[in-house]
Amino acid sequence: MGSLRNSKTLHDLFVQEKPLFPIIQHSPTSPMNEDLLSAISYCTFVFTFTDPLESPAQRDSKRIQLSRIISILKSSKKPLQHRILAPLISMIQANLFRPLPPPANNPSCSSSSSSSSSSVCELAEDEDPVSIFSPVWSHLQIVYEILLRLVITIDYEALRVYMDQSFLLKLLSLFQSEDPRERESLKNVYHKIYTKFITDRSFMRKSMKDVLLNHVFEIERHPGIAELLEIWGTIINGFTVPLKEEHKLFLMRVLIPLHKTKGMQVYHRQLAYCVSQFVQKEPMLGAVVVRGILRYWPVTNTQKEILFIGELEDLVDNIDPDQYRKLALPFCTQITKCINSRNSQVAERALYVWNNEQFVKMATTGMVEVFPVIVEGMERNLKWHWSKNVRQLTESVKVMLEEMDPELYTKGLIDMQNKQAEAHQLDIRRKKRWERLELEAAKNKFLNPQRSICVSH
């Protein structure tokens, strides 16, 4: 028992040296700066919220002192002195820059390699990731408020001494946090820093671009891609026209390839906004974007198909009409494939695209090339599609197309029938060739039985 009494853990020493708060009170003999430094020193100690030796009272006390710091910062009308700013930022770093826990979403995917578990993982890719709410957030929330307050109120020269590029990279790495509340606060802080740190903007853009590229080509899952793209959306919105080559390359090499990643549904809304901003600023980029999206069109993921159809429809409104002629055939071909999809949701969404006036205008620019593809798709739906609702929508679109150009639609029907007849004749000839080959093989086996035995052996 004596040895147990004499042994002291780091936590015990901390509890003895840091008594329960609040003990800081303003008095004539205790200036506000001294109170602030004392509170900052106390809050530098980091609680894990998982260690059973940690005192809940001490954790509550730290939260009270963090609240006191932000209260003092908000009420103070004088700029912070360097002797306060330095320990304050050190305290922020001690709390924020910590090892993040490994991803907790779909743990079965990483723990098992069996075929059954892999199929479960494939199904889970279409679902939204599980949000992990960290217990440390009760402290982190106030720390982020303190950091945001400093970024807003302290001048750039004073902040840049402590928030160098290493600080910015560590801040960027926190977007991998599983807690959506932390990522939201981090997004606000990082964007404010980008706004204020004019000389570091190029570095920050490159750093964010590297994270996105790493997600495209290396890491399949990154929780903070949506928040990063929200920041990019505001940045792109501020680009001047004509766009710099650097920004166009970002569109082609980063944003468009982001369409092919697994779990893209989670951040598609932010991604589509970024892409549309580029096309709105320079409509000539519409052709590049459309062809890029068509290149990464999903084969089996119906949710992504529906999102892609909606994104293409939105882009049509901003594409330069001079590009319509080039895009009409590939665009309409893909929409027709979706119309013929066995998934009724995909087929219905593709059929509704024909309600878009700009899409119809684009289709009419290449009527001669486009109509044969469209007519074949419509007739196939009317004859073979299992969904009654899809067939009804198809009939409505067919009526509209026939009214647009009756002769061309009739010609498309004739071409389709001729094409089917040719295919039927080819099939007949193919079957006859196989029959002749089978007869020759049987005859050869009958005439040379010994040889057939040797060959079989």
Give the model confidence (pLDDT) of 394-421 as tens digits.
Answer: 999 999 999 988 888 888 788 777 777 7
Q: Is the pLDDT of residue 316 over 70?
A: yes
The answer to whether position 424 is within a domain reads: no
Q: Which pLDDT score is estimated for 276?
A: 96
Q: Which of 97-101, 115-119, 326-330, 334-338 has the lowest mean pLDDT?
A: 115-119
Domain containing residue 66: 10-99+135-163
Return the percentage of the chain with pLDDT > 70, whole number: 84
Q: Is the pLDDT of residue 456 over 80?
A: no
Provide the token pair at 182. Answer: 């932390």
Q: Is the pLDDT of residue 365 over 60?
A: yes
Q: Is the pLDDT of residue 158 over 60?
A: yes
Contact 207, 169 (CB under 8 A): yes
The answer to whether position 191 is within a domain reads: no
String of b and e for 156-179 (b: at least 16 CB within 10 Å)?
Answer: eeebbebbeeebbeebbebbbbbb
Q: Which pLDDT score is estimated for 270?
A: 97
The answer to whether position 348 is within a domain reads: no
Q: Is the pLDDT of residue 102 over 80?
A: no
Q: Is the pLDDT of residue 107 over 60?
A: no
Instruction: List 30's β-bridge partners, or say none.
Output: 27
The answer to whether position 51 is within a domain reads: yes
Q: What is the mean pLDDT of the chain?
A: 85
126: pLDDT confidence band, cut at 50, 70 and 90? very low
- What span, in angstroms and rounded, lies between the C-alpha atoms of 454 and 418? 48
For the whole prediction, is pTM greater than 0.85?
no
Q: If DSSP states are collapsed to H, E and C, what string results for the chain?
A: CHHHHHCCCHHHHHHHHCCCCCCCCCECCECHHHHHHHHHHHHCCCCCCCCCCCCHHHHHHHHHHHHHHHHHHHHCCCCCCHHHHHHHHHHHHHHHCCCCCCCCCCHHHHHCCCHHHHHHHHHHCCCCCCCCCCCCHHHHHHHHHHHHHHHHHCCHHHHHCCCCHHHHHHHHHHHHCCCHHHHHHHHHHHHHHHHHCHHHHHHHHHHHHHHHHHHHHCCCCCCCHHHHHHHHHHHHHCCCCCCCHHHHHHHHHHHCHHHHCCCHHHHHHHHHHHHHHHHHHCHHHHHHHHHHHHHCCCCCCHHHHHHHHHHHHHHHCCCCHHHHHHHHHHHHHHHHHHHCCCCHHHHHHHHHHHHCHHHHHHHHCCHHHHHHHHHHHHHHHHHHCCCHHHHHHHHHHHHHHHHHCHHHHHHHHHHHHHHHHHHHHHHHHHHHHHHHHHHHHHHHHHHCHHHHHHHHC
Q: Is the pLDDT of residue 112 over 60?
A: no
Q: Which pLDDT score is estimated for 447?
A: 64
Q: Which of 24-28, 34-38, 365-369 has the lowest mean pLDDT?
A: 24-28
Domain count, the chain: 1
The residue that leads in pLDDT, 2 or 380, is 380
Contact 142, 148 (CB under 8 A): no
- Per residue in 34-55, pLDDT (tens digit) is 888 999 999 999 998 888 888 8
Residues 6+ apart with CB under 8 A from 417: none
Q: Is the pLDDT of residue 142 over 60?
A: yes
Q: Which pLDDT score is estimated for 331?
A: 95
The answer to whether position 92 is within a domain reads: yes
- Give the N- to C-terminal CA distance of the chain in Å, as an integer: 85
- What span, in angstroms and rounded, lies between the C-alpha atoms of 201 and 22? 41
- What span, in angstroms and rounded, lies between the C-alpha atoms of 332 and 338? 10
The answer to whether position 58 is within a domain reads: yes
393-401's contacts with Cβ under 8 Å and 24+ in sequence apart are 393/347, 393/348, 393/351, 393/352, 394/339, 394/351, 397/351, 397/354, 400/354, 401/371, 401/374, 401/375
- Per residue in 237-290, pLDDT (tens digit) is 999 999 999 999 999 999 999 999 988 999 999 999 999 999 999 999 999 999
Contact 40, 86 (CB under 8 A): no
- Selection from 262, 304, 296, 301 nearest residue 109 by Cα: 262
The residue that leads in pLDDT, 129 or 174, is 174
Return the percentage of the chain with pLDDT > 90, whole number: 62
1: pLDDT confidence band, cut at 50, 70 and 90? very low
The answer to whether position 153 is within a domain reads: yes
